[in-house]
Chains A and B, each alone.
Chain A
């Protein structure tokens, strides 16, 4: 099995505050892994460290065997480490189709073509049509994103990530803000992701986690508490204590 993402001893301190300490984990091709943990466990910090938004204090990150610890965020994206955003962050005046065109063109480094016609770039229309179809967005292809329903914006976020041909895909709460009854559609879309992809999902909603994940990693207070299959995690008393305990606090 190909190790796509290897994180070793990743740590981060802000001033004297240790927000992530000594986190190690591996994602293989085809993995469907969920990263969970109570609020303030350091999930977002972890994602920001891995994607290069903030530099780590210690540790290494390798993507498909290549050390990317010191690479800037945009370079990691080009190598295939893609994230979707927790809050849909899209270009409001551009249509769904234009978003996907832009992402595909950017991936192929064809965005500095000044005199080409977007409509006539070889292979672009087919690829975009395929993405629209996979995510069930064909009907709204020509709608400006500003007037799109929120659930559809989330689907577009995932489609955008997919358009960049990721090796490792990090989904940051892909169903946040979407009504519970509709999260199934998001999950369906995630099910249709290419099999060989390694997917890491950060999620609060335990229903979603159990429906999606084959393995689960639990963070608490910036540390890796435990990891294992869904069954093992459910049975782990430490998880119950940390997770349920803090959940009770939140109310």
Chain B
């Protein structure tokens, strides 16, 4: 501990360390255009993999929602897919029955995801640890089970198909090569990143960071930790719901696994691969995970599981000082690269 005595007057002390204001945030401005640029480059460079790229973009938005919850609120959850699935089904049902405009579908998905998150969040976010993990899993299972049983609306275990979104803005048809799908997904992802960035820099984002670090101290300055967490969970639910809706728009089908426990767990893995608490980590992690998946799973899906399993174990074990510090360093490394670029 450096005591005050050893230090000269802080007013004049040149040794006081100055972290440049919001050094990490500065990267955000570079990060979002970078995602857009790399996304567009991929459009021209990998024209045969647009279906995969579209899935990556939509999934990245979902993982981004998990980053809001875990990276900025410190809520460990294995049930984020509940909101993704709800959003996907809501968008699909709206498209099949009433209105297939893609923006209407996204709005329906976001609304549904946000509502489910707010209601369930208020019920479960008093808990911690295993109990909370269990409750988030249970919410996901219930959503999945409801979708399974409401066959008339959701198609049950056959999935909800026949979603045929109208042209974007009445101009751009969803073509059979998936070009419109991909560009639409990329645009929604970039917009999502911008909104998320705005939120984490807002007074609300500041308060949530405080809750993650020390909920009791937040009470001591007159705040209610739980109401922040519920609100954050709700906001992230909107993101997850939009991501689900985006998947419904671009793939034209919604299956039961969109709300399942494995999808929640995979999102967590992708987020940790990319790094928590920095938004674009969600994009990096999703692209890496699904990219490698695409290559390895082509031969045998189990090879892929083995690989990703070993990778996870490696992350936990061989990043001294824990996962967070390891990703700090990874982040610094990436920051260096991006600054140079």
Direct chain A–B contact by Cβ atoms under 8 Å: yes
Query: Interface 1/0s, chain A 89-115, versus B by CB < 8 A?
Result: 111111100100111011100111111
| Beta-carbon contact of A118 and B201 below 8 Å | yes
Assess whether A74 is in contact with B223, with CB atoms less than 8 Å apart.
Answer: yes
Interface membership of B207, Cβ < 8 A: yes
Bound Cα distance from A142 to B10, whole angstroms: 13
Residue ID in chain A nearest B219 by CB atoms = A74
B206–A111 CB distance below 8 A? yes
Q: Which chain B residues lie closer than 8 Å to A74 at the CB level?
A: 219-220, 222-224
Cβ contact within 8 Å between B207 and A105:
yes
Please choose the segment from B15-23, B49-57, B250-258 that sits at the chain A interface, where 4 or more of its residues have CB less than 8 A away: B15-23
Say whether A111 contacts B217, CB under 8 Å.
no
Closest Cβ of chain B: how far from A155's Cβ, in Å?
A: 9
Collect the chain A residues with CB atoms within 8 Å of residue B11's CB.
Answer: 136, 138-139
Q: Which of B104-112, B144-152, B208-216, B311-319 contacts A (4 or more CB under 8 A)?
A: B208-216
Nearest chain B CB to A115's CB is how many angstroms away?
6
Q: Which of B1-9, B119-127, B280-288 contacts A (4 or more CB under 8 A)?
A: B1-9
A181 to B6, CA, bound (A): 10
Does the CB pair A164–B221 fall under 8 Å? yes
A115–B220 Cα distance when bound, in Å, is 25
B13 touches A115 (CB 8 A): no
With a cutoff of 8 Å between Cβ atoms, the chain B residues found around residue A93 in the complex are: 209, 213
Interface residues on B, range: 35 or more
- Tell me if A150 is interfacial: C-beta within 8 Å of chain B: yes
Q: How many residues of A contact B (CB 8 A)?
A: 52
Residue pair A115, B198 in contact (C-beta under 8 Å): yes
Contact across chains for A147 and B221 when beta carbons are under 8 A apart? no
Chain A CB within 8 A of B290 CB: no
A93 to B4 alpha-carbon distance, docked (Å): 20
Q: Are A140 and B16 in contact (CB under 8 A)?
A: yes
Residues of B within 8 A of A91 (CB): 209-210, 213-214, 217
Q: Is B339 an interface residue when CB atoms closer than 8 A count as contact?
A: no
Contact B16 A179, beta carbon cutoff 8 Å: no
Question: When each residue 46-74 of chain A gets 1 if its CB lies under 8 Å from chain B and 0 otherwise, what string results?
Answer: 00000000000000000000000000011
Comparing A77-85, A200-208, A215-223, A230-238, the segment that makes contact with chain B is A77-85
Q: Give Cα A98 to B217, complex, Å.
A: 14
Chain A CB within 8 A of B131 CB = no
When each residue 188-217 of chain B gets 1 if its CB lies under 8 Å from chain A and 0 otherwise, what string results?
000000010011011111110110011011
Report yes or no: B204 in contact with A142, Cβ–Cβ below 8 A: no
A116: interface (CB < 8 Å): yes
**Hey, which chain A residues are within 8 Å of B203, CB to CB?**
101-102, 105, 110-113, 116, 118, 121
- A185-B4 contact, Cβ under 8 Å, with A77-B221, A105-B207: yes
B327 within 8 A of A: no
For A111, give its contact among B7, B19, B204 (CB under 8 Å): B204
Report if B231 contacts A (CB, 8 A).
Answer: yes
B235 touches A (CB below 8 Å): yes
- Give the CA-CA distance A29 to B203 in the complex, in Å: 32
Give Cα A94 to B198, complex, Å.
18
Q: Is the CB of A73 within 8 A of B220?
A: yes
Assess whether B228 is interfacial by the CB under 8 Å rule.
yes
Residue from A77, A117, A136 in contact with B201 in the complex, judged by beta carbons closer than 8 Å: A117
A-B contact pairs, 19 of them (CB 8 A): A73-B219, A74-B222, A83-B220, A91-B209, A91-B214, A94-B209, A101-B206, A102-B203, A102-B207, A102-B221, A111-B207, A114-B202, A115-B198, A118-B201, A139-B16, A147-B17, A149-B3, A152-B10, A179-B4
In the A-B complex, the 3 residue pairs with the smallest Cβ-Cβ separation, listed nearest first, are A151-B4, A77-B222, A182-B4
Give residues in A with beta carbon < 8 Å to B: 73-75, 77-78, 83, 85, 89-95, 98, 101-103, 105-107, 110-119, 121, 136-140, 142-144, 147, 149-152, 160, 164, 178-179, 181-182, 185
**20 more A-B residue pairs beyond the given contacts A105-B206, A179-B3, with a C-beta to C-beta distance below 8 A:** A74-B219, A74-B220, A89-B214, A89-B220, A91-B214, A94-B206, A94-B213, A98-B206, A102-B203, A110-B203, A113-B203, A114-B235, A118-B203, A136-B11, A139-B16, A142-B18, A143-B17, A143-B18, A149-B10, A152-B4
